[in-house]
Structures are given as C-alpha cells and as structure tokens.
Amino acid sequence: MRAPIVAARAERLLELLQALRGHRRPVAASTLAETFGVSLRTVYRDIQSLRAQGADIAGEAGVGYLLRPGFTLPPLMFTSEEIDALALGALWVKRNGDSALAGAAERAMAKIVAVMPKGGDEFLDSPTQLIASRRNASQADQWMSKLREAMRAERKVIFDYVDAKGASTRRTVWPVALGFLGETRMVAAWCETRGDFRHFRIDRILALEVTGDRYPVRRRALLAQWRRSEGLAD
C-alpha cells in the first residue's frame, strides 16, 4: 500500500526541482509549500532529499532556495499533452525553419525519444498533430544562422539591404529577435543609421557580416526596450 505514497513523493520531488529551475532568484519555502499544498517541514525535507541526490541548491530556511546552473535532470516522463506540445513545436521548426534549425529540431526529437519509455518512437513516426505544409526554402535562409550567431554573441552586424522601393543601403545593426511570419522572415534590430529600432526582411539582405564589435548594452535589455516600443507585454 506504500507504493502510491512513494510514487507521489518522487513526482513531487521532480516538480519541485522543475519549480526551482524556473526561478532565477531565491524562492521562499512558504511559496513552494503553497504551490505544492504541503507543509514547510515537507519542503525542507524535500530540499534535503534533492541535495542528497546531487542537486546544487543554495539557500536556507528563512532566506529562500535557488538551484544553481549545471544540474542535469534525470530522464523524465512526459504527459500525453507535453508530448503533443513537443512534437508540434519540433515538427513546425523542422518544416518552417532554415536548414540549421530543421536539423536541430530533428536531433532534439531523437534525444527526447531516447529518454522516453518503450514505444516513444511513435512520437516521431505517428504524431497526433500535423503541420499543413513545408515552407519553400528562400534566400533568407542563408543569413538566419549568422543572425542567430550574432545575437548569441551580442555582436553587431553589417549588411547590404534593398528596401521595397529598390533602394540599396548599408546598415550596421544590433539584432535582437528573429520573426517567422508565414513565408517571410524578419529581423528586429537597433539600426545605427536610423538611431531606432527597425524591422528588416531577411530575404532582402544581399550580403551580411558578423563583426567583432559587441553591442553597447546587453541584448536582453535591448529586447525589453524593443517590446516596449512595440507595445508588447513582457
């Protein structure tokens, strides 16, 4: 009769670990207790259990707890809805991303299958949700990976650009986000020429170079500023 209790606690420990992973600042034990509907004493005991299993959790009672980076979760069980969500997202990227993203999506799906129980290959072979069609490759694809590289490294980009009227300009920009709008691929960036945020169609870029110059501010701050300028919620 104790098996359900053990299973319930194991599930709670995994959920607690996930909850800690989702916080970048220390989270109070009282918050965790309220989230999981348990006592403070249970939270303290669960934290100690996770530490004993190797989780690097900083903090203490009365201060809060924070999971330090670097801890790898053990293989997880996915619910049916989670599998559907992962499959749908990966299939969309595989069909609509550039070649680098499509390959990454396929590899990610294979890794997910590897930690799923027997029969998980149906996740790849027989998804419950399908993407209507495959996007045609375009000229934009050749620049997508370079723009992602620039954003990860927070490096300025110089490109030759042709606008809708056929006018050609050279721009130095600080890319902040890529947009997937139907068949169109866009990059939102701070444009040094205009001194403001601008949106560029990637298929109108003729040549592109990732420079060695870093953004003067962090991309996260730029992205937040761009969202405010567009009236988007955080």
- Average pLDDT of the chain is 82
Least confident of 23-32, 69-78, 193-202, 220-229: 69-78
User: What tens digit of pLDDT does each residue of 173-208 get?
Assistant: 999 999 888 778 899 999 999 999 999 999 999 999
Boundaries of every domain in the chain: 3-67, 80-125, 141-229
Does CATH number 2.70.70.10 belong to domain 3-67? no
Q: What is the C-alpha to C-alpha distance for residues 61 and 172, in angstroms, rounded to an integer?
A: 50
Tokens of 142: 């050749």
Task: Determine the pLDDT at residue 115.
Answer: 64
Task: Determine the pLDDT at residue 167.
Answer: 93
Strand, helix or coil at 200?
strand
Taking each helix axis from N to C terminus, what angle separates 80-96 and 99-114, rounded to the nearest 10 degrees? 160
**Locus of tokens 């761009």:** 226
Task: Determine the pLDDT at residue 200.
Answer: 96
172 pLDDT higher than 80: yes
User: What tens digit of pLDDT does each residue of 62-119 get?
Assistant: 788 998 876 655 555 666 777 778 888 888 888 888 888 888 888 888 777 766 666 5
CB atoms within 10 A of CB 206: 12
HSE toward the beta carbon, residue 177, CA cutoff 13 A: 16
Does this model's pTM top 0.75? My answer is no
The top-scoring range by mean pLDDT among 40-54, 113-127, 136-150, 192-206 is 192-206
Own/partner pairs, 112-120, CB within 8 angstroms, 24+ separation: 112/78, 112/86, 115/75, 115/76, 116/77, 116/78, 116/83, 117/77
Tokens of 190: 């701070």
**How large a percentage of the chain has pLDDT more than 70?**
79
Task: Determine the pLDDT at residue 118.
Answer: 62
What element of type H or E holds 128? none
**Phi and psi angles of residue 214, each rounded to the nearest 5 degrees, phi first:** -85, 155
Task: Determine the pLDDT at residue 86.
Answer: 81
Assigned CATH for 141-229: 2.30.30
Tokens of 104: 């990454």
5 pLDDT higher than 80: no
Mean pLDDT of 41-54: 87
Q: Which residues contact 158 (CB under 8 A, 6 or more apart)?
A: 170, 171, 172, 173, 208, 209, 211
